[in-house]
Chain A
Amino acid sequence: EAGVAQSPRYKIIEKRQSVAFWCNPISGHATLYWYQQILGQGPKLLIQFQNNGVVDDSQLPKDRFSAERLKGVDSTLKIQPAKLEDSAVYLCASSFGGNTIYFGEGSWLTVV
């Protein structure tokens, strides 16, 4: 079975620029998550979707971050404008029943 796919794998942008990350979850997984992992820390949940609806976005900095999952499958996470502290790995994950969560390889963002 194919895993969670993410792109791009690496991105370097200047502060105040924008960036978008794409995620394709495992087929049939209704729940999709975006996590942010800053160097030296564990992943932090940014947003959780159930199909195309948002379940939890309490830790998403909504002034600059946005995410959507319009058709309940793929998802995009956007940052605009980026700040230096947004440098991190952005992990997409998905699950079928909510218990076992499968992660993608992550998108590495460096903001300079």
Chain B
Amino acid sequence: AQRVTQPEKLLSVFKGAPVELKCNYSYSGSPELFWYVQYSRQRLQLLLRHISRESIKGFTADLNKGETSFHLKKPFAQEEDSAMYYCALLPGGGADGLTFGKGTHLIIQP
């Protein structure tokens, strides 16, 4: 069975500092990896997915199959980035639902 691990429950950084939210996964096949974000009092929403190789709101994430990691990075944090971030894995073929990590609460201090 697949598993997603987010080692940090809470990450606090100052505005303008770089941010890295860690995500490691275990899965025997070729998964798709996602980052979802949940701002205060809002629904869970997709931030980015590895196959798109895009930057959203300044965030990027690279899939490292050797290290089975999909860390989320942003060079300069902004206060509006404060939120819960969840890393999620979709098994190859997409037949099953997402498996989520426990989430990291990112707090950007002014």
A interface residues with partner B (beta carbon < 8 Å): 3, 33, 35, 40-45, 48, 55-56, 91, 93, 97-106
Q: Chain B contact residues: over half helix, strand or loop, or mixed? A: loop
Q: Size band of the B side of the interface?
A: 20 to 34
Given contacts A42-B103, A55-B96, A103-B45, 8 further A-B contacts (CB under 8 A): A40-B9, A42-B86, A45-B96, A55-B95, A56-B97, A99-B90, A101-B46, A103-B43
Q: Chain A contact residues: over half helix, strand or loop, or mixed? A: loop
Q: Known: A3-B43, A41-B102, A42-B86. Is A48-B97 also a contact (CB below 8 A)?
A: yes
Contact partners of A44 in chain B: CB under 8 A:
100
Contact partners of B88 in chain A: CB under 8 A:
42
Measured in the bound complex, the distance between the Cα atoms of B45 and A91 in whole Å is 12
Contact partners of A45 in chain B: CB under 8 A:
96-99
* Min C-beta distance of A95 to chain B, whole Å: 8
The chain B residue sitting closest to A101, CB to CB, is: B98
* Min C-beta distance of B104 to chain A, whole Å: 10
B interface residues with partner A (beta carbon < 8 Å): 4, 6, 9, 32, 42-46, 49, 86, 88, 90, 94-103
